[in-house]
Amino acid sequence: MEWLKELLKNAGIADDQIETIVTNAVKEAPKHVVPKAKYNELSTTKSSLETQLSERDTQLEELKKVDIDGLQAKITELQQTNETAKQEHEQQMKDERLNTALKLALHSKVHDTDLVTGLIDKATIELSEDGKVTKGLDEQLKSLQESKSFLFVPEKQQPTFRGWNPAGGADSGTDTSDVGSNFAKIANEKGSNDTKNNPWD
């Protein structure tokens, strides 16, 4: 503290007063001195804040360059694109569900379900909650069957046996007869031509 004593002496202060002032200065000095670790911490914090402020200034300058109207237009365009894609997906799922229901309804009735499904006016078709056709198909199938019968599988018919009926059965046709009747008829015709060879003699 020699420099302080010299300063006070040059200022005309008595020696005893100088000693008192210097002693008090030495006692009070630690209260006003910042520890080095604390100083370093504050210095680092100050540098960090200065860097953050600089970055904010840069970001603000970049924002000033943004075309707000153009950005809003881009957002609106993306919203419309997403909505269109959503509607197309929903329609695709609806069409797929309808096609599946039609193919199930046409199974075993037509030769080519894909072909006939393409000929159906789907706007008139109604489905139940479980995905089955409830309206609009029968009328169209009837019309198609009349104009394009080759697309449809013929209905199976019961076979008709002519010339024989089961034992005890009734004759179902005017020109049919059982085995016994046919045999008698043949024998009679042969007997009328040759009585000597009549099988009944």
Residues 45 and 83 in one domain: no
DSSP one-letter string for 7-58: HHHHTT--HHHHHHHHHHHHHHGGGGPPPHHHHHHHHHHHHHHHHHHHHHHH
Q: Is residue 95 scored above 60 in pLDDT?
A: yes
Q: Is the residue at 185 inside a domain?
A: no
Residue 174 domain flag: no
Task: Please give the residue range of the domain that contains residue 99.
Answer: 79-151
- Whether residue 93 is found in the same domain as residue 53: no
Same domain, 93 and 147: yes
**Measured CA angle at 113 (ends 108, 118), to 5 deg:** 150
Same domain, 145 and 93: yes
Please determine, for residue 66, whether its predicted confidence score (pLDDT) is greater than 70: yes
Structure letter (DSSP) for residue 123: G
Q: What does the pLDDT look like over 140-151, one tens digit per residue?
A: 899 998 898 898
When divided into structural domains, the chain yields a total of 2
Please check whether residues 54 and 92 belong to one and the same domain: no
pTM assigned to the model: 0.41
Instruction: Classify residue 31 by its DSSP letter.
Output: G
- 170 found inside a domain: no
Amino acid at 122: K
CA distance to 7, 16, 21, 165, per residue, from 25 (Å): 13, 14, 6, 143
